Amino acid sequence: MTPRTITIGEKQQNGDVEALNGALKRRLKQHLLLRGSSDFESVSQYESWLSAVIEKANRLRTRRLNEELAVMTPLSNERLPEFIEHDVRVNSRSVIRVKYNVYSVPSRLIGETVRVRIYDDRIEVYYAGELQLSFDRLLGRHGHRINYRHVIWSLVRKPGAFRLFKYRQDMFPSPTFRKCYDGLSRIYEERKASLEYLRILHLAASTVESEVEAAIELILETGSIKTMEQVKSLVGGGNRPETLSMASFKVDLSCYDALLVCPQGVAS
C-alpha cells in the first residue's frame, strides 16, 4: 500500500475510508430492518448484535485477509489505551469542563487539579492517583450533568447565589422538591426561601433523599412547609448513632525491662 496525506480537517478527502464507513452504516440499517426493531434491552445486547453483523461481513474477506497476514510482520500485542487523559482544574462552582460539556465533582476538590480519563461512554475523575467518581459521558456540546450533592455544601453557605445559579434547575431532584421551593417562596422573601430550601436539600444530601422527599409530601398534604426543622423532625432529625465511650488504655512498658537483664554466663 502507498500512503498519502490529506488536508488537515478535511476528512472527506479520504474517499476509501469514508466509502467504507457509509457501506457499514447501510449494512447495519438493512440488518435492523430485517430484525424488525431498533430497540435493545441493554448496551451489551446491542454490542453483541453489532459484533455478529461485522463478523458476518468480514467472512467475505477472509481469503484476501489471510493473503495479507501471510506477508505481514508480527505486531506488538500490547493493549491500546481506551481513553485519553486531560488535567482539569475544578472551579469555584465545583464543576469541570470536559469536551465542551460541564460536570460537577465533590466540593472538596474545589481549586484542585484532577486527571480526567475520557472513554467513549464514560468519564472517570482521578485525584492523587485515586478514582474519585465515574459518570456517563455527555455527547455533543454545551451540555451539563450536575449532581446537587456535589454543590450543595458550598451553596448552603452562600444562599444568595442560588437565585442566579446557572444550574439552578438541577437543584430540584424531583417535582416534590420543586413544590417545596415554590411553597417556601409564597411565604418568604427570596433569600429566606432559598436558605430554607437549601437547608432541606442539604438534609437530603446528608441523610436519605427518598425519606426527605416522603416527609415533604406528607407536610404538603396537610399544610405548608415553613422551616427545615419540620422536615427534619419526620426523618428522625438526622440523629447520628451514639458514640460509645471507652476507658483510656494504659500502656505498661515494665515488661520490656526484662530485655535489659543480661542472661548468666553471657558477657555484656
Q: Which H or E element spans position 229?
A: helix 228-234
Residues making up the chain, counted from first to last:
268
Residue 76 lies in a domain: no
Do 102 and 137 fall within a single domain? yes
pLDDT value at 215 more than 70: yes
CA dist 65 → 45, 58, 201 (Å): 28, 9, 60
Residue 8 lies in a domain: no
Residue 48 lies in a domain: no
User: 92 or 243: which carries more pLDDT confidence?
Assistant: 92
Last residue of a domain, one of 145, 166, 192: 145
Banded pLDDT at 74 (limits 50, 70, 90): confident
Residue 195 lies in a domain: yes
pLDDT value at 22 more than 90: no
Question: What's the pTM?
Answer: 0.63
Banded pLDDT at 49 (limits 50, 70, 90): very high
Last residue of a domain, one of 145, 171, 194: 145
Other residues' Cβ atoms within 10 Å of the Cβ of residue 134? 13
Residue 109 lies in a domain: yes
CA dist 24 → 11, 17, 42, 136 (Å): 17, 11, 22, 26
Do 132 and 166 fall within a single domain? no
- In 3-state terms the chain splits into helix, strand, coil percentages (rounded to 5) of 50, 15, 35
Residue 13 lies in a domain: no
Q: How many domains does one find in the chain?
A: 2
> Residue 170 is placed in which grid cell?
438541577
Q: What is the pLDDT of residues 131-181, one digit of tens each?
A: 999 999 998 899 999 999 998 988 888 888 888 888 899 999 999 999 999
CA dist 255 → 247, 251, 262 (Å): 22, 10, 15
DSSP string, 110-140: TT-EEEEEE-SSEEEEEETTEEEEEEEPPPS
Q: What is the pLDDT of residues 226-249, one digit of tens each?
A: 999 999 988 864 455 556 677 777
Three-state secondary structure of 40-51: CCCHHHHHHHHH
pLDDT value at 111 more than 70: yes
Do 127 and 194 fall within a single domain? no
Residue 63 lies in a domain: no
Do 152 and 138 fall within a single domain? no
Domain hosting residue 111, numbered range? 84-145
Last residue of a domain, one of 118, 145, 172: 145
Residue 61 lies in a domain: no
Angstrom distance (rounded) from CA 260 to CA 262: 6
Alpha carbon dihedral 91, 93, 95, 97, in 10-degree steps, equals -60
> Residue 176 is placed in which grid cell?
416534590
